[in-house]
Structure 1
């Protein structure tokens, strides 16, 4: 057995006269354990929230989105769609016209984001699981229908059973005109929709979006081949990155091709930054807890002066003495870290399985906090504990090795 480790283990497990030092060591162990557990749990919650956000996007956003590099609209002839369709792995392409419009329903009105989509949108079943009322139908018997967000439906008090009450959509005829009279009825294009369904995804979408047929949006905005974006569904998610690169090569510099994460890069970046700062904060707390290791080793070095002298007399050198006290600190910290990792894993597993801790939000899409454990979080937590332990144990070990021998 390694001699320094043997002596360090004896000091840790065989403390009969140094009860106060043992108490500080136990406090150190518990402090490191609790900090480690908290770090694992909080990082896992952030992972769960990030996955939850991605799950919300999947029901609303396309796998890949093509938009113009400059401006809001671009010309989309059939040949452009055919080029993209030829890329291996492209399943279907939805043509989109998206613009802010004014909605009026009975005596209520509000500004919303109108998203005109073609028939491929519903074939992708992107809203199927999110419908809370009615049916996802965009046109029927030559009548243009609307699928509205739950927030829009509440604010306008929309009744999808009232077939003879239309949803009026208003859009300025010439938004660039400086002499536009916003109070003149002939200054707007006005068309009507029949609301047939209500979806609920997330407040950001529920309060701001309605879906309508692409032809309806074309007529309202006086568009021909102009589109705001193309939404691509891929047949194999594993090759989505390769498909994205292939579409970029075909379209060139005039278009931007984004995957789902890139479409919400700012939000996901904010979550990662929050996660980083929480990691640093809890690491700092673990560092504070490790000060107890520093004090316990310092007192142990004072207590074991005679033992150190004896070891020197037996031929031990400075490096051996330093290793003994470094290993002593490592045993205390690693024991606490292992306990903390196990407790953190257990708590996360219980939350994943049973969802004991509720979010406390009425009407939320999920009842319990989402949790996702990742191996890298456990690994980085263990590395932080190792580094902090070595830093806390180094100076007491060096002091113990420099005892003056008479």
Structure 2
């Protein structure tokens, strides 16, 4: 029973950690990405005039709409260079109250004006370029290649667009964002990239009181098949799928370990069947049938299974609750945005763990029950 309880507890704790990691990833991405993202079904960009944008804003449930132009560019600060993504956003980007809710921000969250644009820089990019927010005389230089022309030119300045922008703040959310993103006003990026009215995506903030999936369905109906509308999970489907697959394999692995531990039940019931041969023979002499004897041993296994599962579930729940409320097990990383391992209790995990434990224990009890039911008085 102790082995069953320990295995059950381990399953509950480990699955809760994976749930916590999945929630943490969702929270981190949600503070940088939009709740809904509109992208072209084909191609990299699309034309977005004012009337078309206004039509999307009038869809029921749309609270904020941010126009986005995103592409790779080369950044230079003093003698340092770094290739990263420049993300041009409209003014609504910083109006979202959940923007950068997770993570850290240094400096002033301000994109400046059209004449004096300012950039919000990922911490990793700032480290690579050795940016100094307090230096008023050094500005960030941005280079973007021009479209190729038929006639060549010996002047390298004709091969790229160049502009300057002042870094205003650093953000730190997740390494992939920190090392690869610089956020700037959309007017600055549109001019640098020669995009005009073209956009690479639109980001939607859902109004309070409206269900995200409902608004997503309305936008799909409004936009038609030429555009994709993705929620947060769909925007990062690969990493979330990876976490779920890892969780599944961990569940299978721990269930296999639990199956090995259940050999104790198998041998215990087998020894009991041997020791109780005389008692079993007496039962048969009194008129008991094989089915009754088999049920006796199966019920003995069921008692072990339910007792072990219940104890393991209670202890596992207690450990997860303590970790969630007090954070006893620390990550040990001073720069992390969280201090302790994230955990989350999902009741379906308790259900599947209980089913796995009971099924494994039942299988371990079945063979001893068959052996005991075959005992006859002539065998003594």
Global fold match (TM > 0.5):
yes
Contact 2:282 2:377 in 1 (8 A): no
How far apart, CA to CA, are the structure 2 residues paired with 1:150 and 1:216? 21
Structure 1 position 249 matched with structure 2 position 213: no
**Distance change (3 Å), C-alpha of 1:391 and 1:240:** same
How far apart, CA to CA, are the structure 2 residues paired with 1:179 and 1:45? 59
Shift of 1:346: 1.0
Q: Note the alpha carbon deviations across 1:238-258, whole angstroms, 9 max, x for none.
A: 510010011001111111100
Structure 1 position 201 matched with structure 2 position 173: yes
Contact 2:285 2:377 in 1 (8 A): no
Question: What SS class does the counterpart of residue 139 from structure 1 fall into?
Answer: coil
How far apart, CA to CA, are the structure 1 residues paired with 2:11 and 2:102? 35
Structure 1 position 213 matched with structure 2 position 185: yes
Structure 1 position 142 matched with structure 2 position 124: no
1:168 maps to which of 141, 153, 162: 141
How far apart, CA to CA, are the structure 1 residues paired with 2:101 and 2:114? 21
Shift of 1:66: 0.2
1:306 maps to which of 278, 296, 320: 278
Which portions of structure 1, spanning 4 or more consecutive aligned residues, are displaced by more than 2 angstroms? Answer: 127-132, 176-183
Question: What SS class does the counterpart of residue 163 from structure 1 fall into?
Answer: coil
Contact 1:322 1:400 in 2 (8 A): yes
Q: Hey, what does 1:132 align to over in structure 2?
A: 105
Structure 1 position 399 matched with structure 2 position 377: no
Number of aligned pairs? 377
2:206 maps to which of 210, 221, 234: 234
Q: Note the alpha carbon deviations across 1:337-364, whole angstroms, 9 max, x for none.
A: 2111111111111111111111122301
Q: Hey, what does 1:293 align to over in structure 2?
A: 265
How far apart, CA to CA, are the structure 1 residues paired with 2:343 and 2:311? 20
Contact 2:68 2:203 in 1 (8 A): yes
Q: Which residues of structure 2 form unaligned runs of 5+?
A: none
| TM-score with structure 1 setting the length | 0.90
Question: What SS class does the counterpart of residue 340 from structure 2 fall into?
Answer: coil
Question: What SS class does the counterpart of residue 248 from structure 2 fall into?
Answer: helix
How far apart, CA to CA, are the structure 2 residues paired with 1:189 and 1:122? 27
Matching of residues 7-406 of structure 1 within 5 Å? 29-125=1-97, 126-127=99-100, 130-140=103-113, 142-174=115-147, 176-177=148-149, 184-236=156-208, 239-406=211-378
Q: Note the alpha carbon deviations across 1:107-143, whole angstroms, 9 max, x for none.
A: 1111110000000001113136645321011014830
Shift of 1:404: 2.2
Contact 1:32 1:290 in 2 (8 A): yes
**Distance change (3 Å), C-alpha of 1:201 and 1:104:** same
Shift of 1:333: 2.3
Contact 1:128 1:136 in 2 (8 A): no
Shift of 1:180: 6.6
Q: Note the alpha carbon deviations across 1:235-278, whole angstroms, 9 max, x for none.
A: 13751001001100111111110000100000000000000000
Q: Hey, what does 1:21 align to over in structure 2?
A: none
Q: Note the alpha carbon deviations across 1:8-32, whole angstroms, 9 max, x for none.
A: xxxxxxxxxxxxxxxxxxxxx1111
Contact 2:28 2:173 in 1 (8 A): yes
Contact 1:151 1:206 in 2 (8 A): yes
**Distance change (3 Å), C-alpha of 1:238 and 1:250:** closer
How far apart, CA to CA, are the structure 2 residues paired with 1:130 and 1:182? 46
Contact 2:139 2:167 in 1 (8 A): yes
How far apart, CA to CA, are the structure 1 residues paired with 2:105 and 2:198? 32
**Distance change (3 Å), C-alpha of 1:238 and 1:308:** farther
How far apart, CA to CA, are the structure 2 residues paired with 1:194 and 1:243? 37
**Distance change (3 Å), C-alpha of 1:293 and 1:345:** same
RMSD value, Cα = 1.6
| TM-score with structure 2 setting the length | 0.96
Contact 2:114 2:187 in 1 (8 A): no
